[in-house]
């Protein structure tokens, strides 16, 4: 057993119990205690959903949920949020970010010009 976990005994509750009928001196863990333990150790919830029709697979959904503190996630090698451009402003670097903004602006101008030409062409007919 790890140091932070309690072993259930007869006449007492585990830390995850409801608190009803708890033995003297034993307090059930609060929601905060449970959350702290989960974030400290981490928890993985995984499941697959498949939709079949006459033995033909139509849809497969793979669900993977990891709940952990940022420090615990880093310890196990999960740190995608540090390089995700949507979550981290400096992930792309300022020059790459400027390039993308410039390209985006050019593409918007081209789309606007094409739409204007299409509208003007529709009036002449």
Q: How far apart are the first and last CA of the chain?
A: 82
Measured on CA atoms in the order 108, 112, 118, 121, is the torsion positive or negative?
negative
φ/ψ region of 15 (left if φ > 0, alpha if ψ in -120 to 50, else beta) reads alpha
Provide the whole-model pTM: 0.37
Per-residue pLDDT of the chain (125 residues; tens, 9 = 90+): 444 444 444 444 444 444 444 455 567 778 888 888 888 888 888 899 999 999 888 999 998 888 888 888 888 888 887 777 777 665 555 677 788 889 999 999 999 999 998 888 755 44
**Nearest of 32, 99, 43 to residue 72 by alpha carbon:** 43
CA 54 – CA 10 distance, rounded (Å): 51
């Amino acid at each position: 057993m790890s140091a932070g976990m309690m072993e259930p005994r007869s006449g007492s509750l585990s830390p995850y119990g409801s608190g009803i009928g708890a033995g003297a001196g034993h307090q059930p863990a609060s929601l905060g205690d449970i959350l702290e333990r989960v974030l400290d150790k981490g928890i993985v919830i995984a499941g697959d959903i498949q939709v079949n029709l006459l033995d033909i697979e139509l849809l497969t959904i793979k669900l993977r949920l990891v709940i952990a503190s940022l420090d615990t996630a880093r310890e196990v090698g999960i740190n995608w949020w540090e390089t995700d451009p949507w979550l981290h402003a400096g992930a792309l670097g300022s020059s790459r970010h400027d390039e993308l903004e410039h390209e985006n602006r050019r593409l918007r101008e081209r789309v606007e010009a094409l739409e204007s030409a299409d509208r003007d062409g529709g009036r002449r007919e």
